[in-house]
Structure 1
Amino acid sequence: MGLIDCLFIADGRNLPIFEHIVNSPAPTFQYVKDRLNSMLKGEFEDPGSSNSVFDHLDPVLDIDANWRVAWTKIDAVYLIVAGETFPEYTEVVSDDDDDDDEDEGDDAQEQKETVTISRTANDLQYLQFLADFGTVVKSFLNGAVLTPAKVELNAHNLLLILQEMVDASFPYLTDLNQLQELLPSNSILNKIISTTKQIQGTASHSINSLAQGSSLLHASSSASSLASSQFQKGVLPASCIFEKSGNEIPWRKVNVKHTQNEMLVDLVERISWIVPASKSPKPAYGASTYYNLGLSAKKSRPVMAAMDGTVYFNSSLSGVPTVQLVLNLNKHDLGVPSFHRCVDTEIWSKSPGVVQFIPPDDKFMLMKYKINLLETETPVNVWNYMGPVDVELVGGLGVERNEFEIKLQTKLLKTVKFIEDLKVEILVPKGHTVRGLRITHGDLQSRNGVQEWILDKSLPTGINCTFRGQLLRSGGDSSALRPDYVTVSYSNKGSVPSLIKVDSMKIISGGSTNVKPYKGVKYITHTNNIMLR
């Protein structure tokens, strides 16, 4: 009984193009497809235009009382695994017998308790394996798009990968670095296959080399006995598979060497805000506010204000270095971030902001965190963390109170020079369009029925932008309604809205002592969802 008893790869027409049986007995692809088709007919009368049965069902399902199937789509193919279902619960009976119980006889057996424990396998185990397998396959194919033709051409590669990744029907080796050490590269395999015919053609000449082969056999026997004696003494040869697959740092390659050592950090944050529209100002008689480009002093409190942060680390360091990255959290409580498994979490628990780790040899996601500004223990001014663009939506303007205004203010920051790809989508009620009355920057465009206020590709900081308009009905008459909501999107480099910074980054042990590593930090801000309604 295991998680993975067989693996199939199918195309978009439900035809198998690769099949590997890990443990017998295992269901056939035809049986899996028939069971899924029967479940599909029971839930959907019209499966749609797609020809694949996998597009309309949950990614993990029990197809009968014995088998569980999971799948995912990567590029143009479907990866499917099947394994025996685990019993949902199992009963465990205590077998601890005391001396007093022996005296009591049958009464002692009646007092034994039966405990029921859960043995349900987590569905994410299947999906995580499929994701890891897809990542490894694409890496061995140099990032090529997985198509049915590509899978059939590289079936030998897939078989070798599965033999290393699965052991006894359970995921075994899933780290890409380990598999790259254990498996030959694609170019070496192709060379071996291409020379097979040449080896067969020269087989007849081997008869004349029997004497030499005999001596080689004796030599190999001597080498084998030597290796066996070294193994018994606890000495493993450098090329031993146990050294490569059982190393203490499975996420890092063996004997990493770089001519130029580098440590690069990318700190990326995405903003998610939902802000109610500001109240309409009272008309001021005797004074014109037509050229008032500033934002209101009092704005509505957001109903959602959060930031999702990701720290990427790009390592090009020789040896086995231990890196310490110190973050200035700017008084934010990150709670329990999601770390790469290379991070020593005990050090973070004792000193929040200190990330100590032995990095993989490449760019990887070091940690992820989330900051909810509305759930902080100490009150904060949320507007200080909105990022370099401040936004406001005001309705009910004009003499007839049928105009609205969108105000943007790009804050003047020393570290940010430009706001990139700034645009505002204006979502209006059905049957209405937007008419621009005054636009200080950019222009109004319509794309796929959505009205967009497009500003400059690279907008300088420290300026105010205003869009004043009104809604028109389909007949061309002005409407007293205002937009349902507007969404703002942009990106910038040089700062993140939480104001978290990297204080220091250094190698505290290991690594190369001859070369001082180059250090670089980049701050990037993206908008996940900024909505004003």
Structure 2
Amino acid sequence: MCDGGSINTTEANVLRDVVETSTWMGKLLGGVGLPSSSPALNASSSAFALQKPSLPPTTLASGTAIPWRRSNVRHTSNELYVDIVETLSVTLAPSGQPLLAFANGSIAFTCKVSGVPELLLTLTTPSGRTGVERSMQLPVFHPCVRLARWREQPGILSFVPPDGRFVLAGYEVDLLGDQPLTMSNKSKVPNLNLPATVSVQTGLGPYGADFEVCLNISTRFVGNSSGHSSSAMSSLSNNLNRPSATRAASGDAKTPVIENLVVSIPIPPTVRNVSDLRPSKGEAHWDPGDGALEWRLGAKEVASVGSAGAVLRCTVVGPAGDEDVEDAAAAAGMTSLRVDTYDYDENGAYQSSTPDTKTVTNGKIEKDVGRVKQNAVLMPTSATVSFSVKGWLPSGIKVDSLNLDVRKSKGLGEGVRPYKGVKYLTVSRGGVEARC
């Protein structure tokens, strides 16, 4: 809502009370010539105008009005849900050392409670509640959060929530800590415990036209995905008054499972074709229009990946005019062979004085240095892995408790105990990148 061209109100709950919306009843009354139900739009109408009863404004315990919560909220089922979602972004060096690692998180809250509830949400980390302030960097909060309480006691959010679903807070977490990565503190880099990582080896084969992508999945995130749906949505341990078939009785998922696993390998535009795709697990596909090679693993393939990981090997074909390498592959099975190639010159001798020689001994062929240099520009320079994990957060932030202050709340009803639940979700859309 704007007042004199300036934005005055942006809260949806308040706009529902003051802005007229078209309904089927209003259209029906307008069609027969009667005024609509909004007194503001029918100030000069007849006496048959329907008057909308004025509602008292929603107020806090201190008596001040609440601009983000509409008046007279009523729900038949009183429920409170907390969803913490973090987006993972990690860049790994060719040696496997992390160059940067960040997690951008958001706390989504769903409130379906009658009246005006006073809530107290407590967050914690593996190091205790004192680690929340160090983990949650650059926090942003909804206007309903009392900042003074957060400054006094970091990790505790005191607020009167809006009705429905909203974003309670957002934050950023530096998973590597404050110290930059150097040669002196390389051994002090914390273990990120990533669900999945990739590594790329290029320049393989006799002509350097092959590359290999190795996918490693942590055994901690491999389990039965069919039974994970019940453990992914967990209820708070301090509120077990109402049974639920979809939410477990623990504060965190026992076996977080990795899902939607996709490995993407950018291919240079000079590559004419990617042939001989050989994945040990899953399916690989290359589309020249996308400019990337995708390797997808389903839930069954992920569960069958052992400690050795999964491997994808491919062969790239350069621009038209490059020599074929099938003769070298056929010669690799021979025990001893000397292959001489000559340059034909019409004006000179039939055989050149400097033949390009490749020797095959005991089934091993020496690499053609010239062809390896030509194929080096066709090799990928990185690989990214995308996935999602339910029941696990890279920052380690968890909900310790969610309390409802009955004394300060208004209009809850006698003996009302809302059902409370929490979920954790990590999403990485190409966020884990390995350079080569």
Bin of the TM-score, shorter chain as denominator length = 0.5 to 0.7
Identical-residue share of aligned pairs (%): 32
- Equivalent residues in 2 for 1:418-497 (5 A)? 418-432=257-271, 433-436=273-276, 438-447=278-287, 448-449=289-290, 450-456=292-298, 459-460=302-303, 463=306, 464-474=309-319, 475=322, 477=325, 479-481=375-377, 482-497=379-394
SS at match of 1:186: coil
Q: Check the 8 A contact 1:388/1:497 in 2, yes or no.
A: no
- Name the CA distance, whole Å, in 2 between partners of 1:349 and 1:462: 46
SS at match of 1:498: coil
1:34-88 Cα deviation digits (max 9, x unpaired): xxxxxxxxxxxxxxxxxxxxxxxxxxxxxxxxxxxxxxxxxxxxxxxxxxxxxxx
RMSD: 3.3
Q: 1:350 to 1:167 in 2, by over 3 A?
A: same
Q: 1:197 to 1:519 in 2, by over 3 A?
A: closer
Q: Report the alpha carbon displacement of residue 240 of structure 1 after superposing the two structures with TM.
A: 5.9
- Name the CA distance, whole Å, in 1 between partners of 2:26 and 2:188: 61
Q: Check the 8 A contact 2:176/2:190 in 1, yes or no.
A: no
1:147-168 Cα deviation digits (max 9, x unpaired): xxxxxxxxxxxxxxxxxx2223
| Correspondence for 2:397 | 500
1:409-464 Cα deviation digits (max 9, x unpaired): 22233634532221111112232243456422112102334221121156338742
1:532 aligns with 2:429: no
Q: 1:258 to 1:465 in 2, by over 3 A?
A: same
Q: Check the 8 A contact 1:428/1:485 in 2, yes or no.
A: no
Q: Check the 8 A contact 1:329/1:353 in 2, yes or no.
A: no
Q: Check the 8 A contact 2:100/2:176 in 1, yes or no.
A: yes
Between Structure 1 and Structure 2, the one with more helix by share is 1
- Equivalent residues in 2 for 1:142-153 (5 A)? none
Q: Report the alpha carbon displacement of residue 494 of structure 1 after superposing the two structures with TM.
A: 1.4
- Structure 1 window deviating more from structure 2 (516-525 vs 424-433): it is 424-433
Counterpart residue type for residue 434 of structure 1 = V
Q: 1:321 aligns with which of 113, 117, 121?
A: 117
- Name the CA distance, whole Å, in 2 between partners of 1:396 and 1:494: 39
| Correspondence for 1:255 | 72
Q: Check the 8 A contact 1:324/1:357 in 2, yes or no.
A: yes
| Correspondence for 1:194 | 31
Q: 1:171 to 1:407 in 2, by over 3 A?
A: same
SS at match of 1:337: strand
Q: Report the alpha carbon displacement of residue 344 of structure 1 after superposing the two structures with TM.
A: 0.9
| Correspondence for 2:137 | 335
1:415 aligns with 2:230: no
1:189-226 Cα deviation digits (max 9, x unpaired): 32332231699xxxxxxxxxxxxx9xx9xxxxxxxxxx
Q: 1:395 to 1:415 in 2, by over 3 A?
A: farther
SS at match of 2:26: helix
- Name the CA distance, whole Å, in 2 between partners of 1:382 and 1:185: 56
SS at match of 2:415: coil
| Correspondence for 1:370 | 172
Which structure is richer in relative contact order (CA contacts within 8 A, separation 6 or more)? 2
Counterpart residue type for residue 306 of structure 1 = F
- Name the CA distance, whole Å, in 1 between partners of 2:260 and 2:57: 52
- Name the CA distance, whole Å, in 2 between partners of 1:241 and 1:191: 29
Q: Check the 8 A contact 2:80/2:112 in 1, yes or no.
A: yes
Q: 1:239 aligns with which of 30, 45, 54?
A: 54
1:405 aligns with 2:307: no
Runs of 5+ unmatched residues, structure 1: 1-164, 200-212, 217-236, 279-298
- Name the CA distance, whole Å, in 2 between partners of 1:383 and 1:399: 39
The TM-score with structure 1 as length reference comes to 0.52
1:138-183 Cα deviation digits (max 9, x unpaired): xxxxxxxxxxxxxxxxxxxxxxxxxxx2223322232211121123
Q: Check the 8 A contact 2:383/2:434 in 1, yes or no.
A: yes
**Aligned pairs, number:** 312
Q: Check the 8 A contact 1:385/1:499 in 2, yes or no.
A: no
Q: 2:202 aligns with which of 380, 392, 395?
A: 395
The TM-score with structure 2 as length reference comes to 0.63
Q: Check the 8 A contact 2:383/2:433 in 1, yes or no.
A: yes
SS at match of 2:148: helix
Q: Report the alpha carbon displacement of residue 321 of structure 1 after superposing the two structures with TM.
A: 0.8
SS at match of 1:273: strand
1:179 aligns with 2:15: yes
Q: Report the alpha carbon displacement of residue 317 of structure 1 after superposing the two structures with TM.
A: 0.9
Q: 1:462 to 1:363 in 2, by over 3 A?
A: farther
Q: Check the 8 A contact 1:416/1:461 in 2, yes or no.
A: no
- Equivalent residues in 2 for 1:279-290 (5 A)? none
Q: 1:521 to 1:241 in 2, by over 3 A?
A: closer
Q: 1:385 to 1:513 in 2, by over 3 A?
A: farther
Q: Report the alpha carbon displacement of residue 407 of structure 1 after superposing the two structures with TM.
A: 2.2
Q: Check the 8 A contact 2:58/2:65 in 1, yes or no.
A: no
| Correspondence for 2:225 | none
Q: 1:416 to 1:460 in 2, by over 3 A?
A: farther
SS at match of 2:116: coil
- Equivalent residues in 2 for 1:47-446 (5 A)? 165-187=1-23, 188-196=25-33, 239=54, 248-278=65-95, 299=96, 301-330=97-126, 331=131, 332-376=134-178, 384-385=191-192, 387-397=194-204, 403-413=210-220, 415-432=254-271, 433-436=273-276, 438-446=278-286
- Name the CA distance, whole Å, in 1 between partners of 2:192 and 2:32: 63
Q: Check the 8 A contact 1:418/1:460 in 2, yes or no.
A: no
Q: Check the 8 A contact 2:82/2:421 in 1, yes or no.
A: yes
Q: Check the 8 A contact 1:373/1:382 in 2, yes or no.
A: no
Counterpart residue type for residue 15 of structure 2 = L
Q: 1:500 to 1:391 in 2, by over 3 A?
A: farther
- Name the CA distance, whole Å, in 2 between partners of 1:519 and 1:256: 18
